Structure 1
Amino acid sequence: MSCLSRRHILAGAAAFAAWPARAQPAEWRGVADVAGALDQCHAVMIHQHGAEVFSEAFRGPEIGTPVPIKSVSKTVVAALTGAALDRGEVPTLQTTIGQLAPGLIPANAEPGVSDISVENLVTMQAGLERTSGPNYGEWVSSSNWVANALSRPFETEPGARMLYSTGSFHVLGAILSEITGQSLLQQSRERLGAPLGISIPPWTRDPQGRYLGGNEMSLSLPAMIHFGEMYRRGGMWDGTRVLSEDWVTRSFDPVTRSPWSGLRYGYGWFLGQSDGDDFALARGYGGQVICIVPGLGLTIAITSDSTRPARSVGYFGDLMQLIRGTILPLARGDRT
């Protein structure tokens, strides 16, 4: 499977202001027919080449209201990791927990925990037993979420394969707070919210007061679009560099693969391809989605009922069919 190339990213960054959407806005009403029929889907917003071509709330909160984005939060924390790397606060992605924040490692951690790298965490390849899925409730009921995540047994060597775990991103968020002296909320607002012109409300904190890394953030649909568009434009927004082009490009290089969806995974983004077009996907429980397709100048944001599951063979599969079967053909226009 190919990944999003530097050529695609540069094309998206250079052309967003000049290219018209290939499909006229009226033609995008087909999205409403498909998405509106999905009773779990709340709202969809689509931008192509920098212009809004579709926006509708079918149910749930109004479009401008911040809503839970669930594990799309992981992609936000990945962006903050890139911001710290750009600033030299994280020397390299191979820098380890032991080098950056040894005080976070509990005394009962297995040998080797200190050698887990930033890249292992941001790709969810730490190798430690997962805190997500059936382990999530026990994890968030513990008295110290960072220590609990780091004291789990190794299931595989770090870097060997993806073990989807919110604990990996919570540890990463705690490291970012340690090395910057700022909470994840402060970093999110200053390094992403301010340049993107979006509001980021406070969210869940652990018993030590650290904001949860990788879950429970809230963004409005337009804010999700701004975030996705910034990545599509190679880290730029409204003439301001938010993230380095190098970080954005590297984020879309596949490092591992999801054992459930089969999609590849980079730095906080799931990566796939549909009829020759590469896409990057931020995905959250219940069907919260940011999808960018740089080759088509496309950014999609979807919000859904966050209390209901969205499995790859269920509702998330329906959303992927919406994207692949309805939205992308419209975006291709003269190519279909």
Structure 2
Amino acid sequence: MSRYHRRTVLLGAAASLATPLVAQSDPWAGIADRVQSMDQCHGLVIRQSGAEVISQVFRGPPLGRAVPVKSVSKTIVAALTGAALDRGELPSVQAKLGAVAPRLIPSGADPRVAEITVENLVTMQTGLERTSGGNYGAWVNSRNWVADALGRPFVAEPGGPMLYSTGSFHVLGAVLSEVSGQSLLDLARARLGQPLGIEIPAWTRDPQGFYLGGNEMALTLEGMARFGEMYRMGGQYDGAQVLSADWVAQSLEPRTRSQYSGLSYGYGWFLGQAGGVDYALARGYGGQVICTVPALEMTLALTSDPTLPARSGGHFGDIMQLIEGDVIPLARSRMG
């Protein structure tokens, strides 16, 4: 068992105030130098073949402190969807909202709302008007976030184009609570936190008490890396099967495509390719990233200033250049 598998990680607590140093003789030191020059970046962890090759904070909170991961939360809710399917709480991804959680559908909703599937929610293909972007503020100031998201007009048919919307994942999180009888926080702690050896702090709840699905969670870099490693290893971590291998494989299959980044999208993961190598990416506002590259046995976790935007033509573009142009080629070379 490796050192980082044995180490207890605290999310939401300053578990370690020390910043590990990258060995100067290690070729990964050049990657660390590159990230240090990116002013918005805070910290970086990279593991390859189970070994920690970089674990360093360049600015911002110390390594062991939980930090906002923004929309990386969506990928975590997607994982909890797989856990519910594994336990039979959801019959399939084709299960319809009207069948599994009719209580969530507001009165007077378009009849098509009841036909929205779990898959439509986890791929953000509900067809409903988005709650993200310019609509986000009004949505989180509404009296009922689930009803507001489901009461919006259809701008496409369910199963149509990907419409990036935190509301879709918030509804999904509420569905998971309905079918399990547990809060999203309790599900996250029991089904991800315990097997991964991490603690997950409470986060924002809506007026009805549902924890926000798709935003506002906080993780340490170590916690982010462990989550990515679990997906890299087909749902396993430290000898335990956290998620079924089938769910992980399905999650990393392209289902739709982002009109913003051009990346494909599976079940909670953006999907891309660099130099013929497939990778999966969890992405949050400001430049919070988990990237896993199964073929190269590599996982990357990166945090950035959560208050600043990270657009494809700016900081996020720099992160993608780092991953595709620097990290993946080096990881490939280290595989021999």
TM-score clears 0.5? yes
SS of the aligned residue for 1:292 comes to: strand
SS of the aligned residue for 1:27 comes to: coil
1:32: how far off?
1.8
SS of the aligned residue for 2:291 comes to: strand
Query: Aligned partner of 2:263: which letter?
Result: L
Alignment correspondent of 2:208: 208
Mark the CA change 1:146 to 1:25 in structure 2 (over 3 Å): closer, same or farther. Answer: farther
Alignment correspondent of 2:17: none
Residues 43 and 303, structure 1, Cα contact 8 Å, conserved in 2 = yes
Task: Report the Cα distance in structure 2 between the residues aligned to 1:265 and 1:334, rounded to whole angstroms.
Answer: 28
Residues 159-212 of structure 1: per-residue CA shift (max 9 Å, x gap):
011000000000000000011010000000000000000111000000111100
Residues 282 and 289, structure 2, Cα contact 8 Å, conserved in 1 = yes
Alignment correspondent of 1:229: 229
Mark the CA change 1:335 to 1:79 in structure 2 (over 3 Å): closer, same or farther. Answer: closer
Alignment correspondent of 1:304: 304
Query: Aligned partner of 2:192: which letter?
Result: L
1:312: how far off?
1.1
Alignment correspondent of 1:113: 113
Higher RCO (C-alpha 8 Å, min separation 6): 1
Count the aligned residue pairs.
315
1:25: how far off?
6.8
SS of the aligned residue for 2:160 comes to: coil
Task: Report the Cα distance in structure 2 between the residues aligned to 1:24 and 1:62, rounded to whole angstroms.
Answer: 21
Task: Report the Cα distance in structure 2 between the residues aligned to 1:24 and 1:290, rounded to whole angstroms.
Answer: 25
Query: Aligned partner of 1:94: which letter?
Result: Q
Task: Report the Cα distance in structure 1 between the residues aligned to 2:183 and 2:293, rounded to whole angstroms.
Answer: 31
**In angstroms, what is the RMSD of aligned CA positions?**
1.4
Residues 125 and 160, structure 2, Cα contact 8 Å, conserved in 1 = yes
Residues 234-257 of structure 1: per-residue CA shift (max 9 Å, x gap):
000111110000000000110000
Instruction: Give percent identity, aligned residues only.
Output: 66
SS of the aligned residue for 1:222 comes to: helix
Query: Aligned partner of 1:160: which letter?
Result: G
Residues 118 and 172, structure 1, Cα contact 8 Å, conserved in 2 = yes
Alignment correspondent of 2:9: none
Task: Report the Cα distance in structure 2 between the residues aligned to 1:169 and 1:218, rounded to whole angstroms.
Answer: 16
Residues 285 and 306, structure 2, Cα contact 8 Å, conserved in 1 = yes
Structure 1 residue ranges without an equivalent (≥5): 1-16, 18-22
Task: Report the Cα distance in structure 1 between the residues aligned to 2:25 and 2:70, rounded to whole angstroms.
Answer: 30
The answer on 1:75 being equivalent to 2:75 is yes
Task: Report the Cα distance in structure 2 between the residues aligned to 1:92 and 1:324, rounded to whole angstroms.
Answer: 34
Residues 94 and 119, structure 1, Cα contact 8 Å, conserved in 2 = yes
TM-score normalised by structure 1 residue count: 0.92
Structure 2 residue ranges without an equivalent (≥5): 6-22
TM-score normalised by structure 2 residue count: 0.92
1:52: how far off?
0.1
